[in-house]
A and B are shown apart, each in its own frame.
Chain A
């Protein structure tokens, strides 16, 4: 079945560091990918929708300059957390829509980001 690979699975870094998270569709092409953030004991909140070949669409309240999204190819979307601070520590998950409208989204396994 369709698989989305997300890397890295765990990142611990110092405050002020920029961190890049990759999301790849392994056996299908994804013109759209979704990026979610999940704080402990909370639900998944959509941050942005990345679109291959065009600018990402950000949800209200999400800083575009802080969370840079690039969808450079039909199989790769990246999220870069620039100058990360402790409040950016969270669980980030990407997903790609099913190729047919009634199919479930294909989720990556998530990235746990801890900023010291």
Chain B
């Protein structure tokens, strides 16, 4: 069975602070995909990143960066110099390699960035 754990239910920071959202996963598969999604108050899910299990390179995209550690089954997400517009719920998700397979979501982390 697959499982994704986001231990931080809510995080509150002040604008310009850096913040890291934790994600730990469980799977018996050797090949899988990991995702991060952003859900603003309007509700739609915004895709942020996909990571293949065989690619442990960290990735940076603007103020966003991701740290994938297969040895600890973690896929953490850092926002540098946070902004008010970053306030949202962030979900980490896991998917089998098989085409058309479902996503297993974590519980989500509510990030509030205060001015």
Given contacts A32-B100, A107-B45, contact A43 B52 (CB under 8 A): no
Q: Closest approach, in angstroms, between the C-beta of A82 and any C-beta of chain B? A: 24
- A-side interface mostly: loop
Stretch in A13-21, A63-71, A73-81, A93-101 with 4+ CB within 8 Å of B: A93-101
A44 CB contacts on chain B under 8 angstroms: 45, 91, 105
Contact yes or no, A102 B100, CB < 8 A? no
Q: Which of B43, B97, B101, B110 contacts A97 (CB 8 A)?
A: B101
A103 CB contacts on chain B under 8 angstroms: 50
Question: In the assembly, what is the distance between CA of A49 and CA of B43, in Å?
Answer: 21
A49 CB contacts on chain B under 8 angstroms: 102
Q: Which of A43, A93, A102, A104 contacts B47 (CB 8 A)?
A: A104
- B-side interface mostly: loop
When each residue 81-115 of chain B gets 1 if its CB lies under 8 Å from chain A and 0 otherwise, what string results? Answer: 00000000001000001111111011110100000
Number of interface residues of A (CB under 8 A): 23
Contact yes or no, A43 B107, CB < 8 A? yes
Contact yes or no, A102 B102, CB < 8 A? no
Q: Which of A23-55 touch B at CB < 8 Å?
A: 31-32, 34, 41-44, 46, 49
12 pairs, A vs B, C-beta closer than 8 Å: A31-B100, A34-B103, A43-B106, A43-B108, A44-B105, A46-B103, A97-B100, A102-B33, A102-B97, A107-B47, A109-B44, A112-B43
Query: CB within 8 Å of B: which residues of A?
Result: 31-32, 34, 41-44, 46, 49, 91, 93, 95, 97, 100-105, 107, 109-110, 112
User: Can you add 17 more A-B contacts, CB < 8 Å, to A32-B100, A34-B102, A101-B97?
Assistant: A31-B100, A43-B108, A44-B91, A44-B105, A46-B103, A93-B43, A93-B45, A97-B101, A101-B98, A101-B99, A101-B100, A101-B101, A104-B35, A107-B45, A109-B44, A110-B44, A112-B43
